[in-house]
Amino acid sequence: MSTIAEQFIRTLGEIGVRHIYGIPGGPSIPYMEALRKNGMRFILTSNEQSAGVMADVSARLLGIPGVCHSTFGPGATNLATGVGGALLDRSPVLALTTEVSEEDTGRKIQMNIDHQALFAPISKWTARLNKNWRETLNRALSIACTELKGPVHIGLPVGVDAHSADPRSSSLDISPAPLPKPDPKLLARAGELIIKARKPLLALGLTSLRLGLAPGVRAFADHFQIPVVVTPMAKGVIPESHPCFAGVLFHARSDIVAEVYRNADLVIGLGYDSVEFNYETWMPDVPLIHIDSERADIASGYDVACDISGDVGKALEYINTLVPSENEWGDAVAVCRTALWRALTPQEPGFTPSSLIIALQDAMPADYLLTADVGAHLHLLGQLWQANEPGRFLITNGWSSMGFGIPAAIAAKLCRPHTAVVCLIGDGGFLMTCGELVTARRLGLNVVFIVLCDRSLSLIGVKQERHGVQRYATSLYEGAFFGADSFLGVPVLHANRPEDVEPALAKAFRESGPVIIEASVDGTSFSDLVTKKYT
């Protein structure tokens, strides 16, 4: 008979898992050997945090749970940061950790902590594997794939792997349970409000991206011709070239976007997950129609006229059958977009973050995936980058952990090997996970890492300015960041002007492995771009 380790890994392979990310320990060897025999790859990372991010991004791109692994204690605590990201960015992830044997549970043993207590608040469910491994795995994956999607954790106790496994078929069905149909009475009420409103506004959130609602959203925009705003992780659900697109909530110069949404007389939150940006932080004092897989999370005192939870796609289909009234928005969106573009692209001399982003957009091939790290550059990138398709702009915003960009790009390239993958990252974020460049080099992945070098933790600096205090403890280094033409065996190209970006990117894409582009920019403009009030 097969062992539990062999059957466990074989079952993951049957649902489509091809990569498990992480760092092994001695007790992991039976699972590693099962991976090798089943033609699956263990992607060795430099840090377990990266493994969690890679599993998160794999889940987003492939539509099946991503899998990550760590060993005892410090490996598990490192992994926890990536798992927390999957929780608040709503990605189905299976996190595996080695744990002490049943008889050693609770004892004072080197590296031993309670992994169940560690992962309970940052996962949807946690369990320890035992002889009933199939039931545990089935339940874990079912929970991970059910709305709201998210991570689950299974501890792998030392010794359980060697038990003989039940010879029954190990096939699992990870199809999520269908969402309930929306309440028809609430839908009818929502329809009445939408038709009656003179200045309705549509706000799209993360759920609209995750549930693949882009076609219905575009039909809505064409049909109703009202302003549409999005949260950062919903970029691309509606093309930013669409005449109804009014901008991104929360990101750079959203005070200009507020000139539109503060004049709405009705807000329609479609697939709006407030984990990115709470309604009450930006919404005017008008009725709200909330349509999502979960009920509205909003402070008391706001007028939630319709709280519709369940199948968001079905609700959108109903709304698209309504006959819209003529609205009173006029040219508000066009005026907003013109003002936003002017504000985000100041005519300053030198190499600014804005000119870098514009040059990168112009040079990027049509088939691309862009990952970005957290920082001041993300606030600017999130507003300035023109995303016209869903799923090409990969960030974290629910969790917002620095260190996301590099491992996200590596996972993206593994999942989409024929797609051009670029990571835009600040020098501070780069320092957190730069060890993963060796991972990309070892795997021979042609990922381009553009490091925005302004020598500072700029977002913290501008927040200090917002509080009226001097910048303090945000300076990273003096002089050049890399100071050489290679780093950890990865070639380094240099961009000191906007016109350097296109040839550097073209040269980088001709390489067979990873490439760094050091973009030495003047970050002083961040103060004017990311400190504006949201409303």
| Spatial separation of the C-alpha atoms in residues 18 and 13, rounded to whole Å | 6
Q: What is the per-residue pLDDT for 535?
A: 39
Fold of 345-530: Rossmann fold (3.40.50)
Taking the domains of the chain in order of start, what are their residue ranges? 4-162, 184-332, 345-530
Q: What is the per-residue pLDDT for 5?
A: 95
Residues 6 or more apart whose Cβ sits within 8 Å of residue 6:
30, 34, 37, 165
The 8-class DSSP code of residue 475 comes to B
Percent helix, strand and coil across the chain, each rounded to 5? 40, 20, 40
Count of C-beta atoms within a 10 Å radius of residue 476: 16
Fold of 184-332: Rossmann fold (3.40.50)
- pLDDT-based confidence at 534, cuts 50/70/90? very low
pLDDT digits (tens, 9 = 90+) for 148-169: 999 999 999 998 888 888 766 5
CATH class of 4-162: alpha beta
Same fold flag, 184-332 and 345-530: yes
pLDDT digits (tens, 9 = 90+) for 176-200: 788 999 999 999 999 999 999 999 9
Facing residues of 268 across strands?
202, 289
pLDDT digits (tens, 9 = 90+) for 109-121: 877 889 999 999 9
pLDDT greater than 60 at residue 170: no
Q: Is the peptide bond before 148 cis (omega within 30 degrees of 0)?
A: yes
pLDDT greater than 50 at residue 392: yes
